[in-house]
Amino acid sequence: MAQFISKREATQYLKLSDTTLKRYRLQGVLIEGIHWVRINSRCIRYNLELMQDWLHNRHDPVAHQRAIRIYQASLLSNRKKPSQPSTRNKLPKRKTSK
């Protein structure tokens, strides 16, 4: 499960200033819903794992896209629903009278 951290924590973990993080968000370098989420108008959280991967793979976008796909596939909303067993064959048989 992804760990989302505050701006202050992100600056400490990633060694980037809050101004740099904001600039990357506003320029579209960091993708909303992937690298960061907006909780409300004053609260932003960063996906620590993907932010670290982005820093390591800034010059290898293919590798970072692979990490994004893995993250998206891990979301509950992207998992397939378990198939429901058919109820047709499970209905009780009717007795027929002669």
* Confidence band of 20 (pLDDT split at 50, 70, 90): very high
Q: Which domains does the chain have, with CATH numbers?
A: 4-77 (1.10.1660)
Cα(49)–Cα(75) distance, integer angstroms? 14
- pLDDT of 61 reads 93
Q: What is the DSSP string of 5-46?
A: E-HHHHHHHH---HHHHHHHHHHTSSPBTTTEEEEETTEEEE
Region of poorest pLDDT, from 21-25, 36-40, 71-75 = 71-75
Full-model pTM: 0.75
- pLDDT of 64 reads 95
pLDDT, one tens digit per residue, over 47-95 is 999 999 999 999 999 999 999 999 999 888 877 777 666 656 666 666 6
